[in-house]
Amino acid sequence: MNLFSLEDKKTNVRTEVVAGLTTFMTMVYIVVVNPAILQQAGMDFGAVFVATILATVIATLIMGLFANYPIAIAPGMGLNAYFAYSVVGQSGIRWEVALGAVLVAGVLFVLLSVTSFREQLIKAIPDSLKYGITAGIGLFIAFIGLKSAGIIVGDEVNLVGLGDFHAPMTILSLVGLFLTLVLFTFRIPGSLFIGMALTALIGGMSGLFVSPTTWVTAPPSLMPTLGAAVISLPEVFSQGLYAVIFAFLLVTLFDTTGTMIGVAEQAGLMGKDGSFPRMRSALLADSIGMTAGALMGTSPTSAYIESSTGVASGGRTGLTSVVVSLLFLCMLFFAPVVEAVAGVPAITAPALIIVGCFMMGGLARVEWGRFDEAFPAFIVMISMPLTFSIATGIAFGFITYPLLKIIQGRFREVHPLLYLFMVLFLLQLIFLPE
């Protein structure tokens, strides 16, 4: 095990295996939620299920073997909802073309990962916009969770209204949400996964969930989605999906970077000068996973903050990530039960709502006392769920931030790249609206 430098990191094989199992338990819900969301874009559930697992395995293995960090990577929450409900659902773009946009963003991410431009891009984006974007995505997926649960419904007068709390599926959603919140309150590892399992059990007893006759089978075929992104590349550019590509790239880049640094700090793996050792290898793991995932048929990957649970259990090396990868690989044979669970909105909706809550934490770091910092974060956050578009929310933030700085005479505080983005987003909103 010299590959992982276990002795140098003051850990051992048993500790790393337990850490890997812990991380797996806290994020395995993604094999249910991701295919369930992308299926609503018209994609084949089985193919997305396999693509989700394989993208996770590839990216997390690279992270473990080459970057030697206890960080897991999988298709990210938020961007999968943006892919399905905004890019495909609202804009009417075919899912094949949306995958093509993910592929372009993945290739750009790979190129950024091997150059110093990635650092310039990360530094160019002010913290208030980063936190606002993350919070906006949280509101976006929480809104989707509430809607799919039937807790809120469409209303002709007020756009949204309260759902029917007598509807069986809504009742089951509320019960599942309450049970999962109780699990989180007592800090039970794998609360999301356990909550989904308990909700499925209750749904089975009430007749809302039908257990599959077969739990273990050979993995579904990947053919319905394999290579669709490549075939659709010409349409990505002919339809001018540059804002969509930028949204996929930008959110993945700084979300992954922020998560990796946070987990590395928790594990005591940051350099003495505050640097992030082997950043290139770590970002390559995610960018390769994102590119491979697009080729196979899933939305962008991202580093998972759930990795912190493995670190809390003692994980300090890439062996933790390797264990996570192997456990995910085993999930390939449980497609029938995963598809049955994903077919009941009440089982997956609580996970969307709670993950959305977790993504709001960064708002505490926004300088609300400074209007030129606060308003861009606010307009990003509020516009994402209301326009049903992450890209539009990002555009509003990147336009208002430089403008407010110019008005206040603080234009020198703005990185030149931000002025370029402001102009590009203005042109996009005027001439190429979604």
* Cα separation values, 306 from 25, 182, 321, 433, Å: 9, 18, 12, 35
Give the position of tokens 């084949």: 44
Closest by CA to 288, choosing from 66, 34, 81, is 66
> For residues 78 and 33, is the Cβ–Cβ distance under 8 A?
no
Residue 293, token pair as written in the block: 């995932």
Rounded to whole angstroms, the Cα distance separating 169 from 179 reads: 15
Q: Which positions ≥6 away from 291 have C-beta within 8 Å?
A: 103, 106, 107, 109, 110
pLDDT average per 10 residues of sequence, the chain (434 residues): 81 92 92 96 97 98 95 94 92 94 97 84 85 91 93 86 94 96 91 91 90 89 97 95 91 85 83 78 95 97 90 91 97 93 91 90 92 96 91 92 94 91 87 64
Closest by CA to 39, choosing from 224, 234, 290, 210, is 224
Give the position of tokens 């913290």: 127
pLDDT at residue 121 in the model: 79
Three-state SS for 61-104 is HHHHHHHCCCCCEEECCCHHHHHHHHHHHHCCCCHHHHHHHHHH
Beta strand pairing call for 73-75 and 152-155: unpaired
* Cα separation values, 192 from 38, 144, 171, 341, Å: 19, 17, 18, 13
* Cα separation values, 158 from 152, 161, 162, 201, 350, Å: 12, 7, 10, 36, 24
pLDDT at residue 1 in the model: 56
Rounded to whole angstroms, the Cα distance separating 401 from 405 reads: 6
- Listed by start position, the domains of the chain span 2-431
> For residues 88 and 388, is the Cβ–Cβ distance under 8 A?
no
Summarised one tens digit per residue, pLDDT across range 140-184 is: 999 999 999 999 998 878 889 999 999 999 999 999 999 999 999
